[in-house]
Amino acid sequence: MTAETPATGPASSALEGVRVLDLTHQVAGPSATLALAYMGADVVKVVTPGSRDSYDALPFYLNNASKRSIALDLKSEEGRARLYELAEVADVCIENFGPGVAERLGVTYEKLKERNPAIIFAQIKGFAEETKFRDYPAFDPIAQAYSGASSITGAADGVPMRPGPDLGDTGTGMVVTSGILAALYQRTRTGEGQHIRIAMADQIATFMRIHYAWPIGMGRATPRFGNNAPFTRPTGPSDVYPCAPFGPNDYVHIHCGNDRQWARMAEAIGRPELATDERFATEDARAENSEALDAIIIEWCSTKSKYEAMETLGSAGVPAGAVRDTMDIIQDEDLRERGIIVPVPHETLGEVPLVGWPIRMSGSRNVVKAPPRPGEHTEEVFEEWLGATRAAARG
């Protein structure tokens, strides 16, 4: 079954006709090929013959929508030979095997380039191959720790903590996707493919740009700020505040970034006199009197739900957001109507809400399809990509 996300342009997709060989697993690699599939590329996921367990696991299902699947044993000469045939007509091949696996399997840029100089070969690793850690295994939390993300996350007096979103996995997938798209564009001028490499630890380090203001400007490492803004100059109010009925996620995050926003907030909560109160009139004063300030905000928020607080402040021009949990998100009707959350069927799990593609383009559409069963399209792909004669030669 296919669920089409809303589009204002023609029926075609941006990457229609682009062929992608997907040798990825876990999350980082599949995130990249998922993005390409949502934008219309023909993404063919290669799995080991007879595999089934991954299909019944939700992580697989959530990361492999809109793809097709073929079964190939890359440890066999025949399986590699068939992969090389597909690579001859592919536009992109991407892998995120563990260190050294691609080389052992013979799936390298050099091997594929011999057969197809126009192929774009992308690799995702935990650590860059130029470093002494190149052979170390790495998952998202390892990359987040090494890149510095964990060091700035958590309470000021608490331990380093892994940020919740998959900055190392999905974040790296999104960044390598931009490299693949750039390489496809460059190929229209040069006719040549290229080798793209990205390390999760390197990528997360680039997500930390604003946080380098501390070591650059103040000569010390960026501290942990909890829910406050990690700026070198404190501001406020900037935190999460409890709201009625005081459940585990009944909070609103408020961030007043300047004096103008604070004046608007004081008016919105019915305390206009606080805008000129010498304890709170300036950013520095609010930072010095943060406990007294927070007590006032907590008192006001306790009379509101998190959505009431968000709407009251947001409509007044004050940055505020209700803290929503994952159940709130997948059940959000607005997200479903706009195709950000797309329900698709699963043989054993029933309806599964998949995360769609957030970019809207006036000239193309995004299509979200249920993920394939492992090896479901083996014969179909070989016939379409290689032609009936070569497909039949598989024996």
- Active-site residue numbers? 169
The token pair at 106 is 């013979």
Cis peptide before 245 (omega within 30 of 0): yes
Q: Chain-centre distance of CA 226, in angstroms?
A: 22
CA distance 247 to 260: 32
Residue 288's H or E segment, with its range, is: helix 283-288
Judge contact between 95 and 123, C-beta under 8 A. Answer: yes
CA angle at 47 for the pair 42 and 49, rounded to the nearest 5°: 130
- Between CA 307 and CA 319 the distance in angstroms is 13
- Comparing CA positions, the residue from 286, 148, 146 lying closest to residue 222 is 148
- Distance, CA of 49 to chain centre: 29
Q: Are strands 2-4 and 19-23 parallel, antiparallel or unpaired?
A: unpaired
Residue located via tokens 């089934």: 52
Nearest to 350 by CA among 69, 58, 6: 58
* Cα(119)–Cα(281) distance, integer angstroms: 60
Of 318, 337, 316, 29, nearest to 166 by C-alpha is: 29
Closest among 14, 26, 64, 27 to 44, alpha carbons compared:
64
Cβ neighbour number for residue 291 with a 10 Å cutoff: 7
| 260/263 Cα distance (integer angstroms) | 5
Whether 61 contacts 362, CB under 8 Å: no
Question: What is the chain's Cα-based Rg?
Answer: 25
Task: Return d(Cα 165, Cα 162) in angstroms, integer.
Answer: 9
What is the distance of C-alpha 313 from the center of its chain? Answer: 29
Query: In the structure encoding, which two tokens stand for residue 113, read together?
Result: 């380039």
